[in-house]
């Protein structure tokens, strides 16, 4: 019997999918189905009827009002994606329920009534990408992650308890555990108890408590003494600056040079810092350096704030010291601080420690080159401070933060397709301008990623941290800059150098990140991009199932632009082509992006979408009352 005959036979027998009962699905808002209805809930589907389809890769029975236990999926060993959300399935799932699946990658069991622990065959799967178990009654501890490819893990609104394993929290996956009141040890949740509470009993227990208290007090005293010595030593070793702007000349007044204390530089969390006079632990200025002013010493010991933007109001280093400050973050290059001048604008001061590859004159010339760049999608460098061991760059502050925070920061606002299209177009225009104005640079940007795309008051994107490769220490650039993670660098023996299309690869990754809402996990690692990067994930999804599954679920009101979204997905994949000779150039990428619109042009884009399903990989769906159907594009 051929595949066509098997499929026709299956369609004739689909009435038996639920153990002999007719599958009836009342359309939303439609009339009740005619004829006698089965009593009680419908039974779970018998997937054994699908055994003839040994090559089935994707199966969706979502939103079909199915009830009963979890179905046996062992007859479908090639299944990679299973969607059973929004049904009434319940009960515990056996540990070996998924053991027969050779390459399971996506699982959605959300909005059912499953109970018990997570099956071990899920927890130990090495190829899983997305797991959605939200809105069930799963319980027990959260297992650690064994798959290094996890992108999205949703365990929200269950009854899990105990700590979330470090391996899962550090896997780079987008993790959701809200709604589990017994979960502890997460960034936003309560801390886990270090030990069980002491038993209520005899005086022996009281003696133990007294001993523990004495030990804790002694350790606390030792730590306090050690902290004092560490603070004194750090104060002696911290770098010192003095001086005003280059145009003002001379030294700042000692009485006016009040310092602000920045206590820490967390990676993401923004912390308000007071502007009371004290030493600045972040290494900007100390009272001693302010008191010394600008007199005496070698030139390298007394840097000056140099302005490179014409027509900008001048301010001195002492003005920054008097400003209120916030720690914005600490990245691979250094810490960033927001400084709001008295009766003036808010600025960002970024501190770089790995810029020692060029001398003062070459550094100044490169800064002047950047100062001549004028484009609405480029964040201008306002001023800089040169020191032998570190540099400060001063830029304007963007009120809406970074694109990375918008996409992954847990904000409640939803960015629809028109907003994301606007952001992608602005990024592409800014990058193209860098290619045009800086032809002498192999990588005009070099560090293009979502955290270096800022949004102004109108949500227009501006690129930051661009064109810094010539002044960054080569070893540090190879370790952290995004362009060095491109496939051409990863393929070279011992790590290669990026080329003229490496920034285009970074643009493609960013486009896919904006469309999917997925964070490119390879940026978190200090190595090279691998087979599990975002582009590889998107390619695997569009080959194995519907293209629509790729797009971020948080996009709203985009139905009229689905065809344009698919075209943008093609642009992203064209920019991410691993073969440099086949990868698009910046001119072609920009031209394709500029052609896209917020709404489809009236044509039927279904053929475009279906072209992403490769030959020989059937897909299956049963949604919203539609019968089971099979397609092979």
pLDDT in tens, 158-180: 999 999 888 888 777 888 898 99
> Per-residue confidence at 51, pLDDT binned at 50, 70, 90?
confident
Architecture field, domain 1-25+39-197: Alpha-Beta Horseshoe (3.80)
What value does the mean pLDDT take over residues 411-421?
A: 80
Residue 207, classified by CB atoms within 10 Å of its CB into exposed (0-12), middle (13-18) or buried (19+), is exposed
Better-scored residue on pLDDT, 585 or 147: 585
Residue 310 to residue 542: CA distance in whole angstroms: 49
Q: Indicate the Cα dihedral angle 352, 353, 359, 364, nearest 10°.
A: 10
DSSP 245: B
pLDDT at 548 over 80: no
Neighbours of 126 (CB within 10 A): 10
- List, for residues 374-395, the tens digit of each pLDDT value: 999 999 999 999 988 889 999 9
> Per-residue confidence at 189, pLDDT binned at 50, 70, 90?
low
Nearest to 244, CA basis, from 210, 284, 189, 294:
294
Give the CA angle between residues 67, 123, 171 to the nearest 5°: 125
φ, ψ (nearest 5 deg) of residue 444: -60, -35
DSSP class per residue in 301-312: GS--EEE-STTP
> Per-residue confidence at 558, pLDDT binned at 50, 70, 90?
low
What value does the mean pLDDT take over residues 63-87?
A: 89
DSSP class per residue in 100-164: T-SS--EEE--SSEEEESPPHHHHT-SS--EEE--SSEEEEEPPPP--TT--EEE--SSEEEEEP
Tell me which residue has tokens 């600490």: 330
Better-scored residue on pLDDT, 562 or 362: 362
Question: What CATH number does domain 411-602 carry, 1.10.240.10, 1.10.510.10, 1.10.287.130, 3.40.50.720?
Answer: 1.10.510.10
114, 90 contact by CB (below 8 A): yes
- Biggest alpha carbon–alpha carbon distance for the chain: 98
Domain ranges of the chain: 1-25+39-197, 240-396, 411-602
Nearest to 304, CA basis, from 259, 256, 293:
293
> Left, alpha or beta for 131 (phi > 0: left; psi -120 to 50: alpha)?
beta
> Left, alpha or beta for 185 (phi > 0: left; psi -120 to 50: alpha)?
left
What pLDDT, on a 0 to 100 scale, did the predictor assign at position 50? 77
DSSP H stretches of helix in 175-297 = 203-237, 287-292
pLDDT at 260 over 70: no
- List, for residues 88-97, the tens digit of each pLDDT value: 999 999 988 9
In the predicted model, what is the mean pLDDT of the chain? Answer: 73
What pLDDT, on a 0 to 100 scale, did the predictor assign at position 291? 34
In whole angstroms, how large is the CA radius of gyration of the chain?
Answer: 29
Q: How many helices (H) and strands (E) does the chain have?
A: 16, 23
Instruction: Please give the helix or strand (H or E) that residue 572 lies within, else none.
Output: helix 562-575
Instruction: Please give the helix or strand (H or E) that residue 420 lies within, else none.
Output: helix 417-437
Please give the class, per CATH, of domain 240-396.
alpha beta
Lowest model confidence (mean pLDDT) among 62-71, 152-161, 520-529: 520-529
Better-scored residue on pLDDT, 149 or 280: 149
**Token pair for 478:** 């190879």
Neighbours of 296 (CB within 10 A): 10
Residue 398 to residue 357: CA distance in whole angstroms: 29
Tell me which residue has tokens 């040890």: 185
């Amino acid at each position: 019997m051929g595949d066509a005959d098997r499929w026709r036979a299956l369609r004739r027998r689909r009435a038996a999918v639920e153990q002999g009962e007719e599958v009836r699905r009342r359309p939303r808002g439609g009339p009740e189905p005619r004829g006698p209805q089965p009593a009680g809930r419908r039974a779970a589907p018998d997937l054994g009827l699908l055994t003839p389809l040994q090559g089935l890769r994707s199966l969706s029975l979502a939103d079909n009002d199915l009830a009963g236990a979890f179905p046996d999926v062992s007859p479908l060993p090639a299944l990679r994606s299973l969607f059973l959300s929004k049904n009434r399935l319940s009960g515990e799932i056996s540990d070996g329920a998924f053991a027969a699946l050779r390459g399971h990658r996506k699982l959605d069991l959300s909005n059912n009534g499953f109970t018990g622990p997570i099956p071990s065959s899920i927890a130990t799967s090495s190829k899983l990408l997305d797991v959605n178990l939200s809105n069930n009654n799963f319980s027990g501890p959260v297992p650690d992650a064994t798959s290094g490819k996890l992108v999205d893990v949703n365990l929200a609104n269950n009854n899990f308890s105990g700590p979330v394993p470090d391996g899962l929290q550090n896997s780079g996956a987008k993790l959701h555990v809200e709604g589990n009141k017994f979960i502890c040890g997460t960034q936003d949740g309560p801390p886990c108890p270090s030990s069980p509470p002491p038993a209520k009993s005899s005086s022996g227990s009281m003696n133990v408590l007294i001993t523990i208290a004495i030990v804790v007090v002694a350790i606390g005293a030792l730590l306090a003494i050690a902290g004092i010595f560490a603070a004194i030593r750090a104060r002696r070793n911290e770098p010192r600056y003095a001086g005003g702007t280059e145009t003002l000349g001379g030294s700042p007044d000692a009485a006016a040079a009040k310092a602000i204390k920045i206590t820490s530089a967390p990676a993401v969390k923004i912390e308000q810092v007071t502007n009371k006079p004290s030493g600045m632990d972040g290494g900007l200025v100390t009272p001693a350096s302010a008191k010394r002013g600008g007199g005496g010493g070698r030139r390298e010991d007394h840097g000056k704030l140099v302005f490179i933007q014409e027509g900008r109001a001048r301010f001195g280093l002492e003005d920054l010291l008097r400003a209120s400050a916030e720690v914005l973050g600490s990245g691979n290059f250094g810490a960033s601080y927001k400084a709001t001048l008295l009766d003036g604008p808010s600025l960002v001061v970024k501190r770089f420690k790995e810029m020692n590859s060029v001398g003062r004159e070459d550094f100044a010339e490169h800064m002047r080159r950047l100062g001549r760049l004028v484009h609405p999608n480029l964040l201008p460098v306002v001023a800089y401070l040169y020191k032998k061991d570190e540099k400060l760059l001063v830029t304007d502050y963007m009120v809406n933060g970074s694109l990375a925070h918008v996409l992954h920061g847990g904000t409640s606002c939803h960015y629809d397709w028109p907003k994301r299209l606007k952001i992608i177009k602005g990024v592409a225009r800014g990058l193209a301008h860098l290619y045009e104005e800086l032809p002498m640079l192999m990588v005009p940007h070099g560090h293009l990623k979502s955290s270096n795309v800022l949004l102004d008051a109108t949500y227009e994107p501006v690129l930051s941290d661009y064109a810094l490769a010539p002044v960054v220490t080569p070893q540090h650039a190879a370790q952290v800059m995004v362009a060095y993670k491109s496939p051409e660098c990863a393929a070279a023996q011992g790590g290669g150098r990026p080329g003229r299309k490496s920034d285009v690869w970074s643009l493609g990754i960013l486009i896919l990140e904006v469309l999917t809402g997925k964070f490119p996990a390879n940026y978190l690692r200090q190595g090279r991009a691998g087979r599990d990067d975002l582009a590889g994930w998107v390619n695997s999804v569009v080959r194995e199932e519907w293209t629509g599954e790729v797009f971020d679920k948080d996009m709203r009101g985009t139905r009229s632009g689905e065809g344009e979204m698919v075209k943008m997905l093609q642009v992203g994949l064209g920019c991410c082509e691993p073969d440099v000779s086949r990868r698009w150039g910046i001119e072609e990428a920009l031209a394709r992006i500029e052609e896209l619109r917020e709404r489809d042009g009236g044509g039927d884009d279904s053929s475009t979408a279906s072209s992403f399903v490769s030959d020989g990989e059937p897909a299956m769906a049963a949604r919203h009352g539609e019968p089971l159907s099979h397609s092979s594009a």
